[in-house]
Structure 1
Amino acid sequence: MMIQTLRLTVLSSVLLSAAVMAADKPNVMILATGGTIAGTGATSTTTVGYTAAKVGVERLIEAVPELKNVANVKGEQVFQIASENMTNDHWLKLSKRVNELLAQRDVDGIVITHGTDTLEETAYFLNLTVKSKKPVVLVGAMRPSTAISADGPINLYNAVALASSKDAAGRGVLVSLNDQINAAREVTKTNTMTTDTFRSTDLGALGYMVSGKPVFYRGTARKHTTDSEFDISKLDKLPAVNVVYSYANATRTAIDAFVGAGDEGIVHAGTGNGSLSTPVKAALTEARKKGMIVVRSSRTGTGITARNGEANDDELDFVAADNLSPQKARILLMLGLTKTHDTKALQRMFMMY
C-alpha cells in the first residue's frame, strides 16, 4: 500500500512538473499550407522535380521534436497546395483564420509553413491585414523533406523560436529562412534553387536567428498590422488587379485584354524607373480614362519608382509604386481599392505601407 501511494505521489509530481513547464512556454500555432517544406522527392538527392505539398502538418511537427523545447506547439492544415496555386481567396481565408487565432489568449504566436514561390506575397498581404502585435512568421524550404540536408526542419525550428519570442512582437509579419529574419514588405525570392534565396535586396535583413534566439538590428519604418487601415473581416472577394510586364517591343495587347475583362486596376512592371513605351503609354492612358487605376512599378527588382520621374504621373493621373515590387504593388492596390478609387488617396497608401 505504501509503495502504491509512493508511486502515485511520484507520478503526480511528474505530471505537475510537466504542467508547470508547459505553462512557462509560449503557445505557438503552426498553420500549414503545403509547399516544398512539405514536399517529397523520388530519392534523397532529388532537389528539383519533386512533388510539393505531400506531408501533413502533424508529420512536419513530429520531424522536429526539438520544437517542444521552445513552445507548446499545435498544428492545423489550412491548405495543402504548391504556392504557385495561391489565390486571393486563399489569402482572405488565411488572414481571417490568423486573426481568429491571435484574438485568443492562449495563442502567443503563429507560424505559417508555405511554398517559397509566392511566400513573399502572402507575407505582405498578412502584413497589411493581420490585426495583432503578436508574432506571425512565414517559413518555407528550398529542399523537399526527403532530401539530404533538407532545410525545412531547421527553418521550422527557427520560425517557432522566433514566433515564441517577445522581441518579435510588434515588428509586423516576419519571414524566417536560412537563419535570417526579414520583413514581409521588403523580402523577395532571388534565386530559383539555393537555400539563401530570400533576401531584402534594398535594405537588408532585420536580423538573424542564433542558436534558436532572434537577434534584431533594425526595424521596418512602414506601417503594418495594427496600424493598417485595411479590414478584410467582412470581405469575400478582392478587386481584380493584374500585372503587365514590360520589355523591348512590348505591345498593348495584354493591357487591352485586362481592360476588356473589367479589371479595376493594373500594375505596370516597367523597364528602368518604370518607363513607358509609346504604345504601352497610349494603352494605359486610355485605360485610366475608362476608370482603371494604373500603378507604375519597375521590373528591375530594386530601387524606387519615382513619382513624376519617367512619366508625368500628375498629368496622367497614375500612381507610383515607390519601392514595392510589381507583385507586392498589386496586393496593396487590391486592398486600397476596397477603400477608395481616388488616385491621391492611393498614392498616400503607397508611401505609407
Structure 2
Amino acid sequence: MDDALARPEVAGVVIAHGTDTMEETAYWLDLTVKSNKPVILIGAQRNASSPDFDGPRNLLNAIRIATTPEAVGQGVMLAMNNQINAARTVTKTHTGNVETFKSGDFGFIGEVWDDKVVFSRTALRRQHIDIGSAEMPRVEILAMFGGADGSLLRYAVDQGAKGIVVQAVGMGNMNVSMYEAVKYALGRGVPVVIATRVPNGRTMPLYGFVGGGKTTFDAGAVMAGDLSPQKARLLLMLKLHQGVSDKAGLQAAFDR
C-alpha cells in the first residue's frame, strides 16, 4: 500500500471491506502504513438486493474524503453512514443498523454533507510501527466472565502464545482464578495486557483486591487503557514483533 500511496498521482486509498472485522484492519493499517495520505475503509450494512443498499453512498463518500486536502494526516478512517471515524477509536456497535460504527466517548472526526467533507477534529493518538517480513507472534484474547477458571489462559501459554490480552471486567478486574492464570503467564515470560469488555472508559490500576486492576498491574501486567481487546491484541502483536516485550516499553506504547 505504501508503494501505491507514494505515487504522486494517488491522493489516497479506498478499501472495501466486510464490516465484522473492519475496525481491526483499519487499526492495523493505521499502525503500519507510513504515508500520511488518507486511507479510508468502507463497507455496507445492507446487501445489494435491498432497496436501501448503503454501499454506493459509502463508496462515493470515501472517494470524496480521499480527495479532500484536510484528510491528509488524519490516518486511516472508516466512512460509513456519512460519518468519518478514526481507526483507533471506532468500533462496530450494532449487528444490522447502518449507524453501527461509532467512537464512543470520543465521537466521529468528521462528516460528509452531500459533496462537502467537514472535519471537526484531528486524530491525535497515533503511532507508527515498522514491520518486517518475519512472522507475527501469536497473541490470544481470553475473556473474564463469572466462573472463569483461567484454564484457557494457561493452555494458550502452554501452546506457545507469545502474548495474552485479557478481556477483563470494569476497569480491568478479574477473579482470583484468572489473576493466578495471569501470574502463570507472566512467570513464563509471556506479556499480559489487560483490556475491558466495557465499550467506554479505560482500564486502570485502581482496585487493590486480589484480581483488581492494581494487583494485576503490580504483578507485571500492562493496562490497555481505552483500547478494545481486539485492538490491544494488534498493538501487542506489533510491539512484540518489534522486539519490545518489557512492561515499561509496552506500557509506553499503550499510553501513547
TM-score category (smaller protein):
over 0.9
Partner of 1:235: 133
Structure 2 residue 193 is the aligned partner of structure 1 residue 295: yes
Is the 1:307–1:319 Cα contact (8 Å) retained in structure 2? no
- What is the aligned partner in structure 1 of residue 93 from structure 2? 190
In structure 2, the partner of 1:34 is: none
Worse-matched range after superposition: 207-216 or 279-288: 207-216
Displacement of 1:342 after TM fit? 1.0
Structure 2 residue 247 is the aligned partner of structure 1 residue 343 = yes
Task: Give structure 1 regions of 4+ aligned residues with deviation exceeding 2 angstroms.
Answer: 307-315
Contact 1:239 1:264 in 2 (8 A): yes
Q: For the residues of structure 1 that align with 2:103 and 2:163, how far apart are their CA atoms?
A: 27
Structure 1 pair 314–281 and aligned structure 2 pair: CA distance change class (3 A): closer
Residues 154 and 184 of structure 2 are in contact (CA less than 8 Å); yes or no, is this contact kept in structure 1? no
Please point out which of 165, 189, 202 is paired with 2:105. Answer: 202
> Percent identity over the alignment?
41
1:248-306 per-residue CA deviation (whole Å, 9 max, x = no partner) reads 00121210111111111000000111102100000110110001100011001110101
What's 2:157 paired with?
259
In the alignment, structure 1 residue 150 sits paired with structure 2 residue 53: yes
CA distance in structure 2 between the partners assigned to 1:188 and 1:114 by the alignment: 14
Paired amino acid for 2:18? G
C-alpha distance 314-190 of structure 1, shift in aligned 2 (>3 A): closer
Distance apart, 1:236 and its partner CA: 4.0
TM-score normalized by the length of structure 2: 0.95
Q: Distance in 2 between matches of 1:212 and 1:140?
A: 19
Q: Which has more radius of gyration? A: 1
8 Å CA contact 1:123, 1:175 repeated in 2? yes
**Amino acid paired to 2:45:** M
Q: CA deviation at 1:314?
A: 4.6
> 1:106 Cα deviation (Å)?
2.2
* 1:213-252 pair list within 5 angstroms: 213-224=116-127, 228=128, 230-232=129-131, 234-252=132-150
The counterpart of 2:10, out of the listed 107, 110, 122, is 107
Amino acid at match of 2:250: L
Take 1:338 and 1:308, find their aligned partners in 2: how far apart are those partners? 30
- What is the rounded CA distance, in whole Å, between the counterparts of 2:7 and 2:81 in structure 1? 30
Normalised TM-score (structure 1) = 0.69
2:74/2:122 contact within 8 Å kept:
yes
- CA offset digits 1:87-113 (Å, max 9, x no partner): xxxxxxxxxxx1121122221110000
Retained in 1: the 8 A contact 2:2–2:34?
A: yes
**Aligned equivalents of 2:167 and 2:232: distance in 1?**
10
Q: Give, as a single letter, the amino acid of the residue that structure 2 aligns with 1:263.
A: A
5+ unaligned residues in a row in structure 1: which ranges? 1-97
Give a deviation string over 1:142-200, Cα, whole Å, max 9, x none.
Answer: 01122111000000000111011111000111110000011000100000110000001
